[in-house]
Structure formats: C-alpha cells, structure tokens
Amino acid sequence: MMTAFRLDDERTPDRLRENCMFNAPKTIATVGRRLTKLKFLRAMAQWYLQIRTVIGGRSKPVTVVLSLGEFMHAYSAARGVSGLGRRVLLVTDTPQLPEIAFSSALLPRNPLKEVDAIISDLEKYNMEAVVVSTDHDLLPMQHQIASHFGLISVGPDTAVLNNDKLAWREALEADSVPQPSFSSDPKAFAGKNCIRKPRYGGGSDGVVALGPNDDKAPYAGEDFFFEDAIAGDQYDYEGVVNEGKPHFLARVYEKYEEYNGSFVQRYYFFNPPMDPKLNAALEECVTKTLAASKVHNGAFHVEMRMKGDQPQPIDFANRIGAYERCVSFAAGINFGEAHANCFLKEDYHLKQDKPHSVVQYFCWSQDEFDRASDIRNKNPDKVFDARMEKHIICGEECFGMITFFHDDYEQLLNMIASLDIPAP
C-alpha cells in the first residue's frame, strides 16, 4: 500500500506546499530528480560503487545493464533487475545516482563508443543477461554483446528497425501491415496534410506537422521522410515479448497537440475502460506490428492512431517506455522486472499488486498550471508524481507535469473535471 505524507496547509509556506512530497512514489521521483543534479554526491556514489566492484569480485553472477548515463540513465532497467534479486553490473562512463542506487558493480565505459573494449572486459565476469532500459540506441550493442556470450538477444533485425524508422515502414509494408502512406519524396504529399519525421531518433523531436498549402520541399532530406497525417485517436500499448509472444501490461490513451510547430504531450490515460472490439483490434495491430518489426524478447511500446475503425502503427520501440513508472503503477506489475525477466534464463514469478486508474497531465499555460495545482492541493494523497515547475519538453517550455490516480476510474474523472480534458 502507498504511504501518504501530509503537511498542515495552514502552517506550511505556499512554495513548500507547492513542491512537497505527498506520498511515497512522488517522494522517490522528486528526490531522484533533486539528487541527480548534485554532482559531488554523484561522484562520491560512483567512487563507492567502483570500490564495491573491486571488493565484490567477479565470480558472482551479474546482469549487465547498458546505460547512456548523463544523457539517458538506466534507472528502470537497473531497478527491475535488482527487483528480481539479481546483481546489476552497470556499464556507462557517466553513471547517475538513480541507476547507481540499484547497481552492485560498475564498468566505466561508453556503450555507444567502446563496445569491443566492453566485450573484452566482460570476459572476466560471470554474466547472466544483458539489458537496456529506455534508449533504443543501445539495442545494437545489446545484440552484439549478448550474441558474443551466448545470452538472450533482442536480435539483429529489430536492433536496426528501432533506429531506422524508414526501414521500419518498409518492413511493415513487406508484411502487409496496414499503416499510413509514406514517402521520402515531398511531391507525394503536395496539397495534402502530412507529418515530416526524422529517419533516425525517437520521440517527437524533429516531427513537424505540414498542411496542404505548405511547401514540403524545404523539409525533405536523406534523413527525413513524410507520412500521412491521421487525425484519429491515439493509443499506445505497453508490454513485453517473451520468445515472440506478446504480453500486454497497459493500454494508454494519448493526446498530443501541435504547439509552435511541433507536437507536445497533452495528457495520457493509463488503462482506461475500453470497448472489447476496439481493444481486440488494437491488440491485433500490436501483434502484427511486433512480428513485422522482428521483436522477439523484451519490453515494447507500439503507438497507433485510428483511421476509421482500423488502428495503424505510427511508431514502436523494443525497450521500456519513458513513463515506465506510470505503466507499472497502473498495471500493478513492475514493468522493469517484466522486461528484465525476458532476458534471464530462469523465469521469475512477477508480483501482482493492486492496479490503479492513472492520468498524466501536462500544463502548457499558467491557467492549466493553476487548475492542476488546485486539484493537487485538494487531493494531495492522489498525486502519484509531479514536476510542477517550468521545464523543457520537445524544445518547448512546459509549465509543469502532474500525475493523478484513483482506485476508481469514474472518481478519477470527477476529481480532474476542472482540467476539461475529454476522456476516452
């Protein structure tokens, strides 16, 4: 059960109350963000972990967790591996406190640039598995290292398709998976609405919405392509694949909007009630997409938009999603543990906790921030996570982010009614 922390409204300064840690999950997230900024403390933790690496020896079994450190730490995977009772050997040259906290040893090398040296160093260890966390850039390295040591790998094909979205589109086309029309030629979308996407990378960075009257030629290039703009509802399905079989953990109703020429997050509903026929169609789309994407093991997320009554995939990844904690809390199953379990030869029974109805909301104006803050102040024990301060998302200034939850979906909707967001 969640432990609640309350502060007396009358005696607590407004600024402290605004940022206070109302419950255990929010405490973990807030403390993690604050500590990550303390370079001295991080240096001391890294020094301590390196001492543990020497003292602990190399004969005990370890699971390697690849990380980009300061650019994108591997907290979710490290926590998942540790949660299964396994020892984490963290591989990164810039380790961060959230991942150090769950690690037993450190190999201070850059997985993107030093994979051959890493393989040589790992010959000295008793390895059980190799996993990545939330960055698909590391999937080729996972495959290379795991294959070298005869461990479970994501496979060579999905490692490529995760990082080349034009090649991914072509793979879906080869398997006759219904999808938005696409082309590298801007003339194919002359006079039409379309989306310009980067061939490489992830998220919404570089994604541009173009109207029928926009000249597409300036947005073209060998590193970009265009696809049909689908206006239907967007769903993101999260789960894991074990030896080619998908297991669904969460369905997410996502709302994005165009903001200063780019796409930004508006809100996410995790595991909302859904029509069985719609859910069946979405699950079928996910299953076909994963098969065409050659996903055999590990976490996945597949993003889809509805074109009429047919879902069509718009993105995918063979890794843990960025909002892993929300998925875990909504599903009642630790997403990181489920992901790590796919790469360990010993199958673990995953603990099933109580599921929750969850909504994550992004504030893009002072008015939205004020309304979300009012709900937070009236329902402090229903805040799962919050970052109610200005920060940058997709190159744009966001006023704040907050995640509410409730045991009952209808009561969640009543609680957040003042946000005036259409529920699925």
Q: Which ranges constitute the DSSP H helices of 57-113?
A: 75-83, 97-100
Report for 58-67, 198-207, 374-383: range of highest mean pLDDT? 374-383
Class of residue 35 by CB neighbours under 10 A (exposed 0-12, middle 13-18, buried 19+) = middle
Phi, psi of 315 (to 5 degrees): -170, 160
Same domain flag for 199 and 235: no
Section 144-166 average pLDDT: 96
> Residue 226 pLDDT more than 60?
yes
Question: Which bin fits 371, alpha (ψ -120 to 50), beta or left (φ > 0)?
Answer: alpha
Write the CA distances from 129 to 83, 137, 159, 221, 317, integer angstroms. Answer: 15, 18, 17, 39, 20
Same domain flag for 162 and 209: no
Q: Is residue 211 part of a domain?
A: yes
Report percent pLDDT > 90 for the chain.
76
Which of 353, 371, 398 terminates a domain? The answer is 353
What is the rounded CA–CA span in Å between residue 147 and residue 407? 44
Choice between 44 and 125, residue whose per-residue pLDDT is larger = 125
Domain total in the chain: 3
Same domain flag for 218 and 277: no
Q: Is residue 15 part of a domain?
A: no
Same domain flag for 259 and 197: no
The pLDDT-based confidence of 32 (bands split at 50, 70, 90) is: low
CATH number at 245 reads: 3.30.470.20
Same domain flag for 264 and 162: yes
Same domain flag for 338 and 237: yes
The pLDDT-based confidence of 31 (bands split at 50, 70, 90) is: low
Same domain flag for 165 and 312: yes
- pLDDT tens, position by position, 308-340: 999 999 999 999 988 999 999 999 999 999 999
Same domain flag for 345 and 259: yes
- pLDDT tens, position by position, 402-415: 999 999 999 999 99
What is the rounded CA–CA span in Å between residue 93 and residue 110? 5
Contact by Cβ (8 Å): 92, 74: yes
Q: How many C-beta atoms lie closer than 10 Å to residue 165's C-beta?
A: 21
Same domain flag for 288 and 161: yes
Same domain flag for 266 and 137: no
Q: Is residue 331 part of a domain?
A: yes
Q: Is residue 343 part of a domain?
A: yes
Residues spanned by the domain of 270: 156-171+231-353
Same domain flag for 275 and 308: yes
Contact by Cβ (8 Å): 97, 77: no
Q: Is residue 210 part of a domain?
A: yes
Q: Is residue 372 part of a domain?
A: no
Burial 58-80 (b: 16+ CB within 10 A, else e): beeebbbbbbbbeebbbbbbbbb
Of 73-82, 251-260, 380-389, where does mean pLDDT reach its minimum?
A: 251-260
> Residue 33 pLDDT more than 60?
no
CATH number at 49 reads: 3.40.50.20
Same domain flag for 142 and 206: no
> Residue 222 pLDDT more than 80?
yes
Q: Is residue 8 part of a domain?
A: no
Which of 353, 370, 386 terminates a domain? The answer is 353
